[in-house]
């Protein structure tokens, strides 16, 4: 599961005259992963050691001169290359240099030269590759199969083109990008090389992220031929909120993850000042971070760090994209967060602002473009949800949910839930438990869409809603699961005494908690989790809580050992494996404390004796392992009986 | 070719017995193996692993160990007796009581002059091997605790004995124990249990290798009595060891079903010193590997799962050849099912009893692939328990179904059966010449019984309602001392053919009561023979899968046979690894020869062209997919049906329906699993994860 970590500031920004410019022209990697060269939009180049957040050295060109392309570092010669006032022998667009590679110069008219050959014959003629009115929008270079490529995109009368220029031998291939809605051209490009293919990722202002893949192998040398159509596939349809995106950028992080800046967070309304990581395989949001201040739509990534100019700073945000699995991609939105942080998160001012602070500017969900009636309905609902009294809201939502096409309303359900939760959080008098339960029951919600719902339910001690959420949300983060667990146990301890059945000589194990609490605890045990993330939160449980929880787990375990029926009392009950896993985890988290707690002694002794007997059993089982394996190997033969009379035909 | 009604019989629940011990004779390339029921089997590794001889077991005779001394074969068992086998007459030659309680192990010195056994009472007993018998010579110094395994140093001066918790080295001359090496017990719960040294091997460089019940293979210095190296190879027992003749490789069989190989090599390239290094692990068995033999090119293993596995070592054989293919021998290489064609009866031979079944009936017709409704179910008519504890060697049911004969190592028994009011009567007075019957066979009119006897002779007995009369004995002229393993008569009652393990096939003229001819000897042993009912051609299939057709009238190979030899059999036919065990003919179509091995049955249509090397041999699926007029163009003589597995019998009844008895081994597996399932169902899966706690 991808994650964004705590960021830090690399340097302040001096925005240009217009506010749309961050003042940074480019960032390039230097000698190693910890050094970058930052070129500002006017005259100076600064070398930073990233981890120290400090400049090592800086160069400035004379007054009157301007740097017209970002400085690059040539690791072979340990020189920096920069172009001032566009000029070499023709207008230069960019100089590119890969670590260990030779610097390449891309001219504004599309010609490509190695820097060395250019310097040795500065006056050589530079051909015009691009048509008139065709201009470069973006460029990069890539080494694929030990072949160096300069890749650039151009725009001509609303059409976009991709050029792949291979060096040594030089070939040029031109592709035409499919047209998006009229008038839209890509906001950002990102290219990468994998499996003998160059991958181009581009973001349109309507939030569509496309990927095009070009095989490196098939590149022919037919220069100047007709532009080939470039097939594309839609990777993501990002929510854009109101209007179109203006300053946004998408960067490929690895084959499954894309970092996007300048696009709204799906559960935070229309504000675009977010940095998000999306999983393209599962179309899920993996991590999100609000960036204070203006977003300029610039984003660089070097060695697991994202570089983002926003507001008046250039921030560095480390990230991580481990190999994704469906389970992890199903959005455990925030991994390592304490309860406190979660609360903080829910009070991020901009969210409140978006959701119900600013009534003059009613927000409009992005996904309601489906039908006009939907749209109107939503708009109306938004209004009522934000102002109307509880009863009216309930009525409205009920009416909406009774519609047949509830599946189509999935985004709307999320929106509604978010609004209700925000309003409830802001207004202690407002709470609509039945409506929220109804929304959860639609199974269109998940935790990622509405991260505060569970915590709200906990705050209002609405354990029924908690239970529903635990049951229906596939992506509850471990921190929240643990918060639920804590709250449930606390309830047990407060009210538990009266539930306990007392008998002098127990013929069978007595449930240490009442039935209702057992149901709640079972729901926690049934929740999906990853122990690495759960363990730190489990450590927060007090020893009193731990002992009670272990007692309950032991009760469940004994119950299972005694009767073989897998389902207990027809409740949603955890499997033996789940019970044992939880026992192991709780013991892991609190072992030292438990050893010191006198009340826990009997419990531990019991558990120990289980283990001993089980180990003995397993050792006996081991002896017949061969037979067991044979059982596995045996195919289920269709029962043909002992005798049949069949007709066979030979040819 | 046409449709066949097939009686698919799965109720012959034959279950092979577990393999208990084996011994390989590298001079004759014969593997002797003994099963849990005491049956001895001899496989000829030089001739396609053909199981050429079987000596049935006996109730209560548990053989623990086998030992070749030259061409002589000895066994010893928990009944405390040493037995030498008569491999010509297929019975124990004599038995000697060792008077040391149960015997665990047997071995001989390299010179083949002395035999030693390890006994429960802690003695190692020496026997002198004389020409006709063995004679007790002396005891070695008696130990406390049983002697489980023994190995004689090639020089003959020292003997290593595996015991409980220790290995002893004896001086063979003085009989005194010189060293005592303590073997460590297992850890954990098994700490309190004695460790059993199941197997020892004494190498010429005075290294002793031991395998024990704590899962260890240990290397010892036999001169100093010190431990050199321990290899823990399994959590459970190492049950047996076998060393290659050149002592460069060693294999150990475990109760996990694995065989672990060690090789005497230098462990690193630059190291001069050689040591025993664990190299390969083979997993070809589901249960305990009880017996092993290390041949020059292969690992031979057997155990509880009853299969004999020959696993060629790929560094010793040419890769991707037939030689390098692994062999699993699961079923006997002889027919245990006899079909009374006229009566529609089946005789099943088990080690200790016989069953006679009547096949079922159906009415109506069906499309190919259909199962017909069974109107009358198959019925077990008779179950006959063998008498006297001796297991059954051979059995036969007369074609009319009214006579049943079976033989053990000591006698032949004949019964008269009646079916309208089911009864079985023993024919009490048998001719005294009829005492040995390696093979039994009735004439097609059920008036004569043929029994093969010593030195490949055949005794002919006349049967009628009143008496059973000895007629005469047919003898080959070759003077072979080998037993007959195949016997068949012709439909017209004129011919009788025998095949023996010297690869000789003799044909007798029953009318003239004398030898008619001897088929030219072919190098590979015949595995099935049959005489054609109308043409009187003898069809012979050999262990190397060759097929010959010999005209008894002309006394020469037929034209078809010559053509087949000239063109050669298809390579895929030759690559099959189970022998053809039965040949029969179709009365409806004289050009058809029906034969089967363990995995298929085949109808050879002699009127069709032979498959050429490039044609598809198994072409039934292809032919099925072709339109009818195209089929003839692609057809060839070999119609192979692979619908059945573990085929025990394919026979044609008088109504032209086929009887196929198959899949008994699957019953065995399900039997094993049923047992396991009952004990495990409540534990398995539910508890295993607890280990992680």
List pLDDT tens digits, range B402-441: 999 999 988 899 999 988 888 888 888 888 888 888 899 9
Tell me: pLDDT of A626 over 80.
no
Min Cα–Cα distance to chain A from B104, Å: 23
Where does the pLDDT of residue A344 fall: very low under 50, low under 70, confident under 90, or very high at 90 and above?
very low
Tell me: pLDDT of A361 over 50.
no
On whether any CB of chain B is under 8 Å from the CB of A636, the answer is: no
Predicted confidence (pLDDT) per residue in A400-451, tens digit? 777 656 555 666 777 788 888 888 888 888 888 888 888 888 877 788 778 8
Up-side HSE of residue B379: CA atoms within 13 Å toward CB?
A: 10
Tell me: pLDDT of A20 over 60.
yes
Min Cα–Cα distance to chain A from B1, Å: 5
Predicted confidence (pLDDT) per residue in A539-549, tens digit? 888 888 899 89
pLDDT of residue A363: 35
Task: Please give the radius of gyration of chain B, using alpha carbons only, rounded to the nearest integer.
Answer: 27
Is there a contact between A647 and B367 if contact means CB atoms under 8 Å apart?
A: yes
Centre a 10 Å sphere on the Cβ of residue B170 and count the other Cβ atoms it contains.
23
Is there a contact between B374 and A645 if contact means CB atoms under 8 Å apart?
A: yes
β-strand B658-662 against B2-9: which pairing, if any? parallel
Fill in the DSSP letter of residue B132: S
Q: Give the separation between CA A622 and CA B256, rounded to whole angstroms.
A: 10
Mean predicted confidence (pLDDT) in B341-367: 88
On whether any CB of chain B is under 8 Å from the CB of A632, the answer is: no
One-letter-per-residue 3-state SS of A389-406: CHHHHHHHHHHHHCCCCH
Counting DSSP H helices and E strands in chain B, the numbers are 5, 58
Q: Spell out which residues of chain B touch residue A622, defining contact as CB-CB under 8 Å.
A: 235-236
pLDDT of residue B99: 92
Of B335, B241, B222, B369, the closest CA to residue B578 belongs to B335
User: Which of B639, B675, B692 is facing A650, going by the closest CB pair?
Assistant: B639
Is there a contact between B7 and A576 if contact means CB atoms under 8 Å apart?
A: no
Is residue B13 classed as helix, strand or coil in its secondary structure?
Answer: coil
The H or E element spanning position A614 is helix A600-623
Predicted confidence (pLDDT) per residue in B109-163, tens digit? 988 899 999 999 999 999 999 999 999 999 999 988 899 999 999 998 999 999 9
pLDDT of residue B676: 47
pLDDT of residue A358: 35
Report the percentage of chain B scoring pLDDT > 70.
Answer: 95
Min Cα–Cα distance to chain A from B294, Å: 24
User: Which of B370, B378, B689 is facing A577, going by the closest CB pair?
Assistant: B689
Any idea which of A22-36, A268-282, B17-31, B197-211 has the lowest mean pLDDT?
A: A268-282
Q: Across all residues in chain B, what is the average pLDDT?
A: 88
Q: Give the separation between CA A339 and CA A452, rounded to whole angstroms.
A: 12
Q: What is the ipTM of this complex?
A: 0.79
Q: For residues A227 and B475, which has the higher predicted lDDT (pLDDT)?
A: B475
β-strand A197-203 against A208-215: which pairing, if any? antiparallel
On whether any CB of chain A is under 8 Å from the CB of B685, the answer is: no
How many angstroms separate the Cα of A206 from the Cα of each of A210, A248, A264, A269, A287? Answer: 11, 11, 12, 16, 21
pLDDT of residue A220: 61
Nearest Cα residue in chain A from B237: A623
Q: Give the separation between CA A40 and CA A24, rounded to whole angstroms.
A: 4
Residue B213 and residue B237 in contact, taking contact as beta carbons nearer than 8 Å: yes
pLDDT of residue A409: 62
pLDDT of residue B252: 95
* Straight-line distance from the first to the last Cα atom of chain A, in angstroms, rounded to the nearest whole number: 59
Is there a contact between A647 and B3 if contact means CB atoms under 8 Å apart?
A: yes
Is there a contact between B369 and A647 if contact means CB atoms under 8 Å apart?
A: yes
User: Which of A621, A634, A643 is facing B688, going by the closest CB pair?
Assistant: A621
Min Cα–Cα distance to chain A from B391, Å: 26
pLDDT of residue A348: 28
Where does the pLDDT of residue A609 fall: very low under 50, low under 70, confident under 90, or very high at 90 and above?
confident
pLDDT of residue A263: 86
Is there a contact between B368 and A648 if contact means CB atoms under 8 Å apart?
A: yes
Tell me: pLDDT of B451 over 90.
yes
pLDDT of residue A307: 93
Min Cα–Cα distance to chain B from A329, Å: 27
On whether any CB of chain B is under 8 Å from the CB of A387, the answer is: no
Mean predicted confidence (pLDDT) in A236-257: 85
Would you report the helix, strand and coil content of chain A in percent, each value rounded to 5? 35, 25, 40
Is there a contact between A626 and B631 if contact means CB atoms under 8 Å apart?
A: no
Sequence-distant (≥ 6) Cβ neighbours of residue A503 within 8 angstroms:
A510
Min Cα–Cα distance to chain A from B583, Å: 18
User: Which of A610, A616, A650 is facing B4, going by the closest CB pair?
Assistant: A650
Mean predicted confidence (pLDDT) in A572-600: 85
Predicted confidence (pLDDT) per residue in B173-189, tens digit? 999 999 999 999 887 66
User: Which of A583, A614, A651 is facing B635, going by the closest CB pair?
Assistant: A651
Predicted confidence (pLDDT) per residue in A271-280, tens digit? 778 898 888 8
Tell me: pLDDT of B192 over 80.
no
Q: Give the separation between CA A452 and CA A483, rounded to whole angstroms.
A: 12
On whether any CB of chain B is under 8 Å from the CB of A564, the answer is: yes
pLDDT of residue A332: 35
Min Cα–Cα distance to chain B from A493, Å: 27
Mean predicted confidence (pLDDT) in B50-61: 89
Is residue B414 classed as helix, strand or coil in its secondary structure?
Answer: strand
Q: Give the separation between CA B577 and CA B554, rounded to whole angstroms.
A: 33
pLDDT of residue B550: 94
Specify whether the backbone of B553 is left (phi greater than 0), alpha (psi in -120 to 50) or beta: alpha
pLDDT of residue A306: 92
Any idea which of A438-452, B245-259, B484-498, B546-560 has the lowest mean pLDDT?
A: A438-452
Q: Give the separation between CA A316 and CA A318, rounded to whole angstroms.
A: 7
Suggest the residue from B5, B8, B357, B366 to mutate for an interface test with chain A (most A CBs closer than 10 A).
B8
Any idea which of A615-619, B169-173, B457-461 has the lowest mean pLDDT?
A: A615-619
The two structure tokens encoding residue A284: 């899920």
Is there a contact between B9 and A616 if contact means CB atoms under 8 Å apart?
A: no
Report the percentage of chain A scoring pLDDT > 90.
Answer: 10
pLDDT of residue A62: 84
């Amino acid at each position: 599961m991808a994650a964004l970590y705590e960021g830090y500031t690399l340097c302040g920004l001096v925005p240009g005259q217009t506010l749309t410019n961050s003042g940074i022209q480019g960032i390039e990697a230097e000698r190693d992963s910890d050094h970058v060269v930052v070129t500002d939009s006017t005259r100076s180049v600064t070398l930073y050691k990233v981890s120290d957040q400090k400049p090592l050295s800086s160069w400035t060109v004379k007054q009157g001169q301007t740097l017209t392309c970002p400085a690059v570092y040539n690791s072979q010669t340990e020189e920096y290359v920069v172009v001032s006032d566009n000029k070499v022998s023709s207008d230069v667009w960019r100089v590119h240099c890969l670590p260990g590679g030779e610097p390449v110069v891309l001219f504004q008219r599309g010609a490509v030269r190695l820097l060395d050959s250019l310097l040795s014959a500065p006056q050589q003629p530079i051909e015009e590759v691009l048509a008139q009115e065709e201009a470069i929008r973006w460029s990069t270079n890539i080494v694929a199969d030990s072949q160096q490529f300069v890749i650039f995109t151009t725009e001509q009368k609303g059409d976009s083109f991709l050029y792949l220029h291979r060096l040594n031998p030089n070939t040029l291939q031109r592709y035409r990008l499919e047209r998006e809605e009229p008038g839209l051209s890509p906001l950002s490009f990102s290219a990468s090389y994998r499996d003998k293919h160059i991958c181009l990722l581009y973001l349109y202002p309507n939030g569509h992220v496309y990927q095009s893949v070009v095989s490196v192998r098939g590149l022919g040398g037919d220069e100047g031929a007709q532009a080939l159509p470039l097939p594309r596939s839609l990777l993501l349809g990002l929510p854009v909120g109101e209007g179109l995106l203006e300053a946004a950028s998408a960067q490929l992080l690895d084959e499954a993850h894309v970092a996007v800046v300048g696009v709204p967070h799906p559960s935070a309304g229309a504000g675009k000042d977010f940095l998000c990581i999306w999983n393209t395989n599962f179309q899920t949001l993996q991590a999100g971070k609000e960036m204070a201040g203006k977003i300029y739509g610039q984003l660089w990534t070097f060695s697991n760090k994202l570089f983002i100019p926003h507001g008046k700073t250039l921030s560095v945000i480390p990230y991580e994209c481990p190999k994704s699995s469906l389970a992890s991609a199903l959005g455990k939105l925030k991994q390592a967060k304490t309860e406190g942080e979660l609360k903080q998160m829910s009070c991020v001012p901009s969210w409140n602002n978006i959701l119900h602070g600013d009534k003059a500017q009613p927000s409009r969900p992005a996904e309601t473009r489906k039908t006009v009636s939907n749209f109107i309905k939503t708009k109306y609902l938004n209004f009522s949800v934000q102002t109307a009294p509880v009863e009216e809201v309930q009525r409205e939502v009920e009416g909406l949910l009774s519609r047949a096409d509830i599946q189509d309303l999935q985004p709307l359900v999320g929106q509604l839930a978010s609004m209700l939760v925000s309003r409830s959080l802001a207004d202690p008098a407002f709470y609509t438990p039945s409506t929220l339960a109804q929304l959860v029951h639609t199974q269109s919600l998940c935790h990622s869409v509405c991260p505060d719902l569970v915590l709200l339910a906990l705050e209002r001690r609405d354990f029924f809603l908690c239970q529903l959420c635990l049951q229906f949300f596939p992506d509850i983060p471990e921190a929240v699961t643990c918060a639920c667990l804590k709250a449930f146990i606390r309830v047990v301890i407060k009210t538990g005494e009266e539930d306990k059945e007392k008998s002098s000589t127990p013929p069978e194990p007595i449930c240490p908690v009442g039935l209702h609490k057992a149901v709640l605890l079972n729901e926690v045990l049934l929740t999906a989790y990853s122990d690495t993330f759960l363990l730190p939160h489990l450590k927060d449980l007090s020893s009193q809580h731990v002992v009670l929880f272990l007692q309950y787990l032991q009760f469940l375990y004994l119950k299972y050992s005694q009767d073989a029926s897998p389902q207990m009392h027809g409740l949603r009950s955890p499997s033996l494996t789940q019970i044992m896993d939880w026992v192991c985890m709780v013991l892991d988290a609190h072992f030292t404390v438990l050893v010191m707690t006198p009340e826990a002694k009997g419990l531990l002794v019991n558990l120990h004796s289980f283990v001993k007997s089980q180990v003995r059993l397993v050792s006996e089982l081991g002896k017949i392992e061969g037979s067991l394996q044979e059982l596995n190997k045996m195919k289920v033969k269709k029962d043909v009986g002992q005798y049949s009379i069949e007709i066979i035909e030979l040819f | 070719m046409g449709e066949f009604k097939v009686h698919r019989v799965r109720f012959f629940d034959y279950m092979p017995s577990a393999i208990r011990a084996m011994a390989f004779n590298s001079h004759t390339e014969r593997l002797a193996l003994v099963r849990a029921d005491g049956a001895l089997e001899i496989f000829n590794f030089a001739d396609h692993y053909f199981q050429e001889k079987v000596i049935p077991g006996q109730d209560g005779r548990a053989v623990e160990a086998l030992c070749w001394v030259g061409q002589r074969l000895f066994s010893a068992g928990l009944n405390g007796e040493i037995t030498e086998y008569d491999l010509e007459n297929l019975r124990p030659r004599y038995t000697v009581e060792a008077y040391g309680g149960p015997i665990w192990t047997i071995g001989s010195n390299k010179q083949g002059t002395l035999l030693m056994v390890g006994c429960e009472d802690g003695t190692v007993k020496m026997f002198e091997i004389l020409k006709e018998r063995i004679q007790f010579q002396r005891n070695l110094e008696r130990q406390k605790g049983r002697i489980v395994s023994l190995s004689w140093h090639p020089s003959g001066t020292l003997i290593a004995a595996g015991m409980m918790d220790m290995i002893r080295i004896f001086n063979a001359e003085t009989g005194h124990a010189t060293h005592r090496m303590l073997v460590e017990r297992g850890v954990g719960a098994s700490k309190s249990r004695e460790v059993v040294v199941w197997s020892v091997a004494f190498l010429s460089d005075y290294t002793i290798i031991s395998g024990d019940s704590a899962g260890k293979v240990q290397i010892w210095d036999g001169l100093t009595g010190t431990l050199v190296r321990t290899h823990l190879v399994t959590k459970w027992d190492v049950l047996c060891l076998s060393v290659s003749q050149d002592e460069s490789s060693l294999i150990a069989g475990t109760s996990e079903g694995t065989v672990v190989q060690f090789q005497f090599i230098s462990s690193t390239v630059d190291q001069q010193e050689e040591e025993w290094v664990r190299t390969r692990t083979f997993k070809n068995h589901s249960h305990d590997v009880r017996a092993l033999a290390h041949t020059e090119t292969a690992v031979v293993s057997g155990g509880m799962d009853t299969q004999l596995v020959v696993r060629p070592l790929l560094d010793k054989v040419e890769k991707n050849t037939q030689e390098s293919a692994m062999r699993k021998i699961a079923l006997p290489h002889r027919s245990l099912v006899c079909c009374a064609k006229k009566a529609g009866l089946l005789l099943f031979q088990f080690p200790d009893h016989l069953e006679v079944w009547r096949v079922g009936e159906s009415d109506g017709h069906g499309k190919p692939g259909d199962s017909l409704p069974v109107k009358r179910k198959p019925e077990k008519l008779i179950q006959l328990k063998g008498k006297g504890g001796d297991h059954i060697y051979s059995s036969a049911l007369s074609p009319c179904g009214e006579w049943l004969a079976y033989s053990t190592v000591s006698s032949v028994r004949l019964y008269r059966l009646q079916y309208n009011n089911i009864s079985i009567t023993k024919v009490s007075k048998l001719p005294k010449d009829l005492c040995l019957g390696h093979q039994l066979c009735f004439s097609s009119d059920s008036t004569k019984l043929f029994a093969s006897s010593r030195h490949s002779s055949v005794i002919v007995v006349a049967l009628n309602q009143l008496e059973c009369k000895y007629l005469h004995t047919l003898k080959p002229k070759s003077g072979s001392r080998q037993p007959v393993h195949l016997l068949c008569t012709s439909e017209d009652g004129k011919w009788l053919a025998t095949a023996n393990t010297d690869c000789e096939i003799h044909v007798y003229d029953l009318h003239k009561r004398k030898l008619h001819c001897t088929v030219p000897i072919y190098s590979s042993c015949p595995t099935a023979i049959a005489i054609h009912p109308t043409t009187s051609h003898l069809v012979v299939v050999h262990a190397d899968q060759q097929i010959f057709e010999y005209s008894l009238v002309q006394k020469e190979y037929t034209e078809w046979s010559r053509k087949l030899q000239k063109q050669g059999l298809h390579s895929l036919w030759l690559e099959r690894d189970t022998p053809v065990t039965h040949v029969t003919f179709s009365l409806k179509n004289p050009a058809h020869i029906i034969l089967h091995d363990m995995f298929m049955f085949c109808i050879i249509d002699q009127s069709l062209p032979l498959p050429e090397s490039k044609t598809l041999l198994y072409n039934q699926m292809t032919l099925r997919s072709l339109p009818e007029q195209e089929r003839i163009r692609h057809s060839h003589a070999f119609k192979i049906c692979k619908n059945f597995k573990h085929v025990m019998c394919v026979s044609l009844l008088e109504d032209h329906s086929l009887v196929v008895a198959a899949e008994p081994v699957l019953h065995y597996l399900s039997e094993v699993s049923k047992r396991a399932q009952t004990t495990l169902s409540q534990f398995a899966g539910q508890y295993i994860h607890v280990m992680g706690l």
